[in-house]
Amino acid sequence: MNSAIKTKDLYNRAAKFYDLHSKLAEMIWFARWRKKFFSPLIGNILEVGIGTGMNIAYYNKNAKVTGIDFSEKMLEQAYIKLNRSEKKNIALKQADVENLNFKDNSFDYVVTSCVFCSVPHPEKGLKEIKRVLKPTGKLIMIEHVLSKNPLIAFIENALNPLIRSFMGANINRDIRQNIINAGMGIIKDKNLH
């Protein structure tokens, strides 16, 4: 089974329980980061890997948001949140970041949160993001990355095979280098945790 299909299957199985699994981290860290980084954005926004729709509540009413995910079961959960929110400025679509079906230079912002740890070919996905971003556009990411602390990096590398097999996520990726390899520059890089 190829890695994209395996990852999609893992997320389809986890969709109903994903929010419960993430609840503690959401309360402690992610909710405030989502509000801080995504609420101020206006313009045409693409959210890659919208998952169960955790960011839906934080989008500005003056933004036009397209949320994509390759897992139909995760999207089902996102539709529930979207319908409860009554937001009319957000559209959801099943799509894969490695093969985006959008025109070049379409978006002012692309946002991701805990997505590129599970994209099978991250550089390919980032090149697609670069293609659909306007020349003045920005990519805003909240992602798991390999720690700069050698002890934590050692633990991440040791645990990664287990986590990858159960969740499809890689907790030890060098996302910064993937961004550079995809031909994009980095304006700001901040360790949030």
Q: What is the CATH number of the domain that holds 85?
A: 3.40.50.150
Sign of CA dihedral 84, 90, 94, 98: negative
The verdict on residue 192 lying in a domain is: no
Average pLDDT along the chain, 193 residues, taken 10 residues at a time: 81 88 85 94 97 96 97 97 94 97 98 93 97 97 89 94 86 93 92 69
Residue by residue, DSSP assigns 71-118 as: -HHHHHHHHHHHHHHT-SSEEEEE--GGG--S-TT-EEEEEEES-TTT
pLDDT at position 140 is 97
Question: Would 9 be classed as within a structural domain?
Answer: yes
User: Is residue 188 domain-resident?
Assistant: no
- Would you say residue 92 lies in a domain? yes
Q: Tell me the pTM.
A: 0.92
DSSP designation for 58: G
Kindly list the distances between the CA atom of residue 138 and the CA atoms of 37, 107, 119, 134, 189, in Å, as whole numbers in the listed order: 12, 9, 19, 8, 13
pLDDT of residue 193: 59
For 54-75, b/e burial (b = at least 16 CB within 10 A) is bbbbbbeeebbbbbbbbbebbb
User: Helices 3-14 and 150-167 sit at what angle, rounded to 10 degrees?
Assistant: 80
Pairing between β-strand 43-48 and β-strand 133-142 as defined by DSSP bridges: unpaired
pLDDT in the model for residue 23: 87
Position 49 in a domain: yes
What angle, 0 to 180 degrees and rounded to 10, lies between the N-to-C axes of helices 3-14 and 72-85?
Answer: 40
Determine, yes or no, domain membership for 151.
no
Please report whether residue 158 resides in a domain: no
Domain count, the chain: 1
Domain that holds residue 61: 3-143
Tokens matching residue 70? 């390759």
